[in-house]
Amino acid sequence: MINKKELHSVISNAWNFFPQKRKKEIVTSLLEKWLNSKETSVFFLPKIRKEEKVPFIAPLCILSSDWPGLSASCIGVIHERGWNLSYIESFVFEYKERELGVILLIIKIKTENELKKFLKDREAILKNLRVVATGSKAKTSLLVGETRKIEIYGHVIERIKEISRTKQEMDDILQENGEAFKFFSSRSESYLEERSHLDLAHQIVTNYRFQNLVRKTGGKPQFWIKNIKTTREHLTGITIAAFERDIFLNDWLEAIYQAVQDYKIKYNKEFVTGDGIVVYRIEISDSKEKPYSEKKALDIKRALMKAHISRRMERVRWMEIMGGFEHYMRAIIPLLIKEYSLSRRAQVYMSIVQMTNYLVCFKILIVSGVPSSGIMDYGYNITEALETEEGISIISAKPPKKYGDVEVDIIDIEADLEMFPNIEDVYRIIRKCVKEVIGKFRDFDEGMRKLEVGKLKKVKKMLNAYPENFVREFYYRLDDFYRIGAEPEEIAEQIKLGMKGLEVYEKKREEYVIMEKEFHLKFEDKDIPSSTILVLVYSSKMKLLSSVLELLHNYEVTLSKIERRDVTVVILRVQQDNKPIPSQAIEKVRAFFETIKR
């Protein structure tokens, strides 16, 4: 049974939380202040003494020319400083043909710590209120836009709940700073308003699922192509997720062009996760402003997958040019041992070292603790497990190498692509067999991606005046393990010189461009010469890289190569005994280029 008398008493107490007489005094003083001031907004926030006894209430009152969003703006200032409000009252009245708005806000100070925080925040609160309390069309538009976003968000959330496969998936997407929040934070009001709630929900859920699938499959790219109808047009929507380092936006766009030459980009957006997964959203139409048919959509998907496979094969060929996987092993084994020593968790690295249309060869590195006495080597047991898998053959399994209490096993396998049309299935089997023998382990590739993403952020910050896509592409074209060990400053210098060389080549259209620079490491107050950065820019028709590397075979070389339309840009970092190379070596490269005719 509801006790109305009790309810009336509770409501009356809430209304009378702040005495009416005190309210009148504050509003009257503010009105007088407003009349004597040229300001459109005036404020009341009494001075609070350090010695004030807690608990107490701090009244804050704003009087301003009324405008849509005034109340929400002022309340937002308080909330952004981390304060809760115990009482809110607002009203509008007309005075001398002016609409004035009054907002009364009460903050309850309960503890000594809250008193200290309030004394610290007081001036900032007043300053921020002065900024937001004055209305303008732009602010009104922004607030209305955000309110509209919140309204759309509510509808989309309901759709996400309907299409989520599990409660866990739904909770992950809808959590604070989850996929739904990130999506709405990075989309304009017009984009959200023009698309159906269901289409937006599908985009959000697909982004979430694709990121997880890329992680689970060891980098298999994910594609979703679906026609969508907006309030203005009918489009073909494409979502792509992959490892950021593997392939770039220009490569995907070129692949789409191979399938449909007449496409127009109507919208594109991308974001990168902390562990190096990039998600692209591209919305296109044909030359007649129409979406593509199911057949054309299938052609696009095939072209995207072909581009991915081509890039992987190119990566393998690149590894062979740079001296094969032995070059990588010299760099990676110390890193794996170091990680194991720090974490005492087994480290596993898997990489494709050769690939044809029929076979793919993997090299597997396992770094773990030395097995207990009487237990067979881990490498032997993993090899046995892999041998039982149909379509996989063992090429070689080297005897384990021991470094103190650490064991390193290296296994080479071959997989039949007729049995494994998706290479990621081979990764899955390798992980399964390794886990059966050594238990939980760390996929070192994931750790490398996180290091790469963190370093790329620093490099982009240093090169913020340059196009981000160029910076990213140059960065990921660098030798994998050089990227991990190199200082961001040195990487930034290489990219900067590479972009400068490309700019000179495109402006002057010379036969070729060669640029050089000595890079110096800064140690305390000293500049220590460390390496020579050499940039070569020439026509892609000229296949010169092997010849250049032959000229520099006496030196330690790492390089990055980018194909940009019909232009090749090569960035070489060259050292001799950890120092820049002699000028005579650079002159040999220049002399070689002088003999080349386009």
Q: How far apart are CA 392 and CA 385, in angstroms?
A: 11
* pLDDT number for residue 159: 92
Res. 70 pLDDT band, cuts 50 70 90: confident
Strand partners, 283: 237, 267
Percent of the chain with pLDDT over 90: 26
Domain borders along the chain are 17-135, 143-313, 324-440, 480-594
Q: How confident is the model at residue 507 (pLDDT cuts 50, 70, 90)?
A: confident
Q: Are the C-beta atoms of 517 and 572 separated by less than 8 Å?
A: no
d(CA 528, CA 580) in angstroms, rounded, equals: 10
pLDDT per residue as tens digits for the range 312-333? 766 666 555 555 455 556 667 7
Quick one: pLDDT at residue 141?
42
Pairing of strands 567-575, 392-397: unpaired
Tokens of residue 3, six digits: 């006790």
Q: Are 90 and 125 in contact (CB under 8 A)?
A: no
What is the Cα–Cα distance from 466 to 474, expressed in whole angstroms?
A: 12
Which is higher by pLDDT, 476 or 388? 388
Say how many Å lie between the first and final Cα of the chain, rounded.
95
Do domains 17-135 and 324-440 share one topology? The answer is yes
Name, in order, each residue with C-beta under 8 angstroms of 270's C-beta and a sequence gap of 6 or more: 249, 278, 279, 280, 281
Q: List 93's β-bridge partners, or say none.
A: 100
pLDDT score, position 1: 56
Task: Encode pLDDT of 430-472 as tens digits.
Answer: 989 999 998 888 887 777 777 788 888 899 999 998 888 788 8
The lowest-confidence range among 16-25, 86-95, 116-125, 384-393 is: 16-25
The per-residue pLDDT for 316 is 60
Mean per-residue pLDDT of the chain: 84
Q: Measuring CA to CA, which residue among 463, 499, 480, 494 is closest to residue 571?
A: 494
Average pLDDT for 141-170 = 77
589, exposed or middle or buried, with CB in 10 Å at 0-12, 13-18, 19+?
Answer: buried
Cα 353 from chain centre: 28
Beta strand pairing call for 347-355 and 359-369 = antiparallel
User: Can you tell me the distance from the alpha carbon of 583 to that of 591, in angstroms, rounded to the nearest whole number?
Assistant: 12
382 and 409 in contact (C-beta within 8 Å)? yes
Query: In three state form, how does the secondary structure of 149-166 look?
Result: HHHHHHHHHHHHHHHCCC
- For residue 138, pLDDT over 60 is answered with no
Cα(532)–Cα(555) distance, integer angstroms: 11
What is the rounded distance in angstroms from the CA atom of residue 459 to the CA atom of residue 456? Answer: 5
Q: pLDDT (tens digit, 9 = 90+) per residue, 365-380?
A: 899 888 766 566 788 8
Q: Are 502 and 536 in contact (CB under 8 A)?
A: no
Joined together, the tokens standing for residue 581 give 């190379």
pLDDT in tens, 288-302: 999 999 999 999 999
Category of 356 on φ-ψ map: left (φ > 0), alpha (ψ -120 to 50) or beta: beta
The pairing of beta strand 87-95 with beta strand 222-229: unpaired
CA angle 187, 191, 194 (to 5 degrees): 150
pLDDT tier for residue 140 given thresholds of 50, 70 and 90: very low
Whole-number pLDDT of residue 131: 62
Identity at 456, one-letter amino acid code: L
At CB < 8 A and 24+ separation, what contacts does 7-16 make?
Answer: 14/87
Closest CA to 186 of 110, 272, 258, 74: 272
Domain at 17-135: CATH architecture:
2-Layer Sandwich (3.30)
The predicted pLDDT at position 130 comes to 74
How far apart, in whole angstroms, are the C-alpha atoms of residue 124 and residue 122? 6
CATH fold of the domain at 324-440: Alpha-Beta Plaits (3.30.70)
Query: Which residue stretches of 16-136 are H helix?
Result: 20-35, 70-80, 112-132
Size of the chain, expressed as the number of residues it contains? 598
- Nearest in space to 239 (alpha carbons), one of 219, 264, 210: 210
3-state secondary structure 107-134: EEECCHHHHHHHHHHHHHHHHHHHHHCC
Instruction: Specify whether the CB–CB gap between 73 and 133 falls below 8 A.
Output: yes
Task: Kindly report whether the global pTM for this prediction surpasses the value 0.75.
Answer: no
Cis peptide before 55 (omega within 30 of 0): yes
- Alpha-carbon distance of 228 to 446, in angstroms, equals 34
